Amino acid sequence: MKIVLNFIRLKIRFFKYFLKAIKNNFFQKKKLPNNLPTVLVISTGGVATTTLIKYLKLFSNINCENDSDGLKHLIRPPVVDYKKTKIIYISGSDEKIFNSLKRRNIFNEQMMKLGCPLSFLFTGKLEKYFFSRCIKRQKKNFYNNDKILTLMFDEIWDKKEIIKNYLDIDSKLFLEEFPSKKV
């Protein structure tokens, strides 16, 4: 009986994520909170976004590291006043992102947030193909905006001074205490 209930719960969760992925694909949350942070870090997932947000939180008013505000994995850049809100977009290689999300068992949740319903219907090469299409769509949306600081995962640590300058952070500690890259 317990096995049957677990199976039913799994199917319900799958169906719920699948429907939310469809909704996010076509009707991503457009309304931003009134108290929008001054810094938004947005990413594909699997690219050290949480680490960077936690650190930037010491210096700026920033979106939530656990995505409770729904701003961490937007498909498109939000419409903001770029003089008041700065956006950093982080991505990486599709393969590394895919492996990171799978390894941490958050792939389905991430595909839901990124509006990738077809990733739920396939496994193997087709799953990776539809995943890559969604990631490429998000990258295209963010890379086509010159007011957004775009970084690849491997560049974060080499470009910490660019991040500091982009966000107008005055603290000398920013560079000295910048989190190290996990190996």
The DSSP result for 4-50, as a single string, is HHHHHHHHHHHHHHHHHHHHHHHH---PPPTT--SEEEEESSSSSHH
What confidence category does residue 163 fall into, taking pLDDT thresholds of 50, 70 and 90? very high
What is the band of 9 on the pLDDT scale with cuts at 50, 70, 90? low
Q: How far is 142 from 42, CA to CA, in rounded Å? A: 9
Stretch 90-96: mean pLDDT: 95
What are the strands of the beta sheet with 39-43, ordered from one edge? 39-43, 86-91, 149-152
Contact 46, 101 (CB under 8 A): yes
| Type of residue found at 98 | F
Q: Is the pTM of this model over 0.85?
A: yes
Is the pLDDT higher at 123 or at 15?
123
68-79 residue pLDDT tens = 998 999 999 998
Q: What is the pLDDT of residue 16?
A: 81
Q: Of residues 119 and 60, which shows the higher confidence score?
A: 60
For 10-19, 55-64, 78-87, 112-121, which range has the lowest pLDDT when averaged over its residues? 10-19
User: Does the pLDDT of residue 30 top 70, yes or no?
Assistant: no
Quick one: which of 169, 168, 139, 141 has its CA closest to 151? 139
